[in-house]
Structure 1
Amino acid sequence: MINNKLIKVCGMRETQNILDIENLGVDFMGFIFYPKSPRYLREQPTYLPRTAKRVGVFVNEEQENVLTLTNCFSLNAVQLHGSESPQYCKALMREGLQLIKALPIAHEEDLEQAALYEGVCDYLLFDTKCEGYGGSGSQFDWGILNSYKGNTPFLLSGGIDLSHICALKEFRHPKLAGYDINSRFETEPGIKDSKMVAQFLHELSK
């Protein structure tokens, strides 16, 4: 946690890279179980994080498969990045899972969907609306989030990189819980540059 904000690094895949990023003290590490993603976790690494929480990222997956993979990888949380319904989310929460629901944002009206997920997820994740399901490397206008009046805390995502440090420090919202970083810190899909992540955390903590 940096300045009382959670840090999530998503799209992890390789054992040594997982170790290197975990040693930086991040709070969450995301593992993508969506076959169409370039960061898809095809096989289980020989090491999975022990101090950072393990987050499984799914897109419109059958609930049974989510639970199977949750048990297989001992996931602490599930992030839903598709069009999963509030009822679907509520069912997974009943299984004792911490739940993050991603919502794509491009315009202020996109925030209206957030109200549907009140009480059925632990966090929302506001990401840039794109043709796929996240990992676009593009940023949306964070000013849109000033219109968010919900009670569910959220993680900010979407094209965050080192150039955004000042903007992140300036951005204020009572429900901002943390930041999700991914593609802008990669040397290739699924491989994070640990030096860049370390610099990001250091600059953010100043």
Structure 2
Amino acid sequence: MRVKICGITNLEDALVAIEAGADALGFVFYPDSPRYIDPAKAAMIVADLPPFVERVGLFVNASKDFIEEVCKATNMSLAQLHFDVDEEFIESLAIKALPVVRARSKDDIKRFANRYRLVDAYVPQFGGAGKRVALEWFEGVDCSKIILAGGLTPQNVGEVKKYDFYGVDVSSGVEAKKGKKDPKKVREFIAKAKFE
């Protein structure tokens, strides 16, 4: 199972995550988030990363031009679209995109069924609320293209392994405080998700 550590705001956290085995790092380009990072700062962190690490830019209610401009300037490899988009919008982007499904019901997780997508629990605000999606919704569902997010921690990530998700995404579950990761939690989360 692949692991994305989201809400990276500094190089130290990025390098700890990579060294522990993270496959992807997430950078939040949504100014209202406590994990927001200025694109210029994100570009500096990315410049110091080793190769073969996926760099994911998270966007909320952003225009096509803004997404493309920021991704190019920061050398992102993927745009995570944390707002309601359709196939046309995704296809129109010059960068590969990952739609986010903010699930209120079991039916919601079938959206974008032919695509890789991130499934998070619906909350009125965007991301980092630590609310979990009901795992029973995934019983009997092909989860091979789903990245699960929302309310994951080192203590509970083991529970989701039986569903064979493509990956898991964590932010608040491995923080010391908003915007700063706890290295011990990061290492423990990745070990439990990938190696145990």
Question: Do they superpose with TM above 0.5?
Answer: yes
Q: Would the aligned equivalents of 2:138 and 2:163 in 1 still touch at CA under 8 Å?
A: no
1:40-55 alignment, distance < 5 Å: 40-42=36-38, 43-45=40-42, 46-48=44-46, 49-51=49-51, 52-55=53-56
CA distance in 2, matches of 1:168, 1:146: 11
Alignment of 1:25-174 (within 5 A): 25-42=21-38, 43-45=40-42, 46-48=44-46, 49-51=49-51, 52-92=53-93, 95=94, 97-112=95-110, 114=111, 117-118=112-113, 121=115, 123-146=116-139, 148=141, 153-169=145-161, 171-173=162-164
Residue type at the aligned position of 2:106? E
Residue identity in the other structure for 1:101: P
Query: Could you list the per-position Cα deviations for residues 166-199 of structure 1 after superposition, in whole angstroms to 9, with x for gaps in the alignment?
Result: 3123x324xx201111101101112111211111
Amino acid at match of 1:8: K
- CA–CA separation in structure 2 for the residues paired with 1:50 and 1:88: 31
Structure 1 distance, partners of 2:24, 2:158, is: 22
Matches within 5 A, 1:167-186: 167-169=159-161, 171-173=162-164, 176-186=165-175
1:149 Cα offset (Å): 5.3
Separation (CA, whole Å) in 1 of partners of 2:62 and 2:50: 25
| Distance in 1 of aligned mates of 2:124 and 2:54 | 28
TM-score computed with the length of structure 2 as normaliser: 0.88
For structure 1, the 5+ residue unaligned runs are none
Task: Provide the TM-score with structure 1 as the length reference.
Answer: 0.84
The one-letter amino acid paired with 2:108 is D
Q: Percent identity?
A: 24
Structure 2 distance, partners of 1:185, 1:149, is 27
Amino acid at match of 1:44: K
Moved more, 41-50 or 13-22: 41-50
Displacement, 1:85? Answer: 2.1
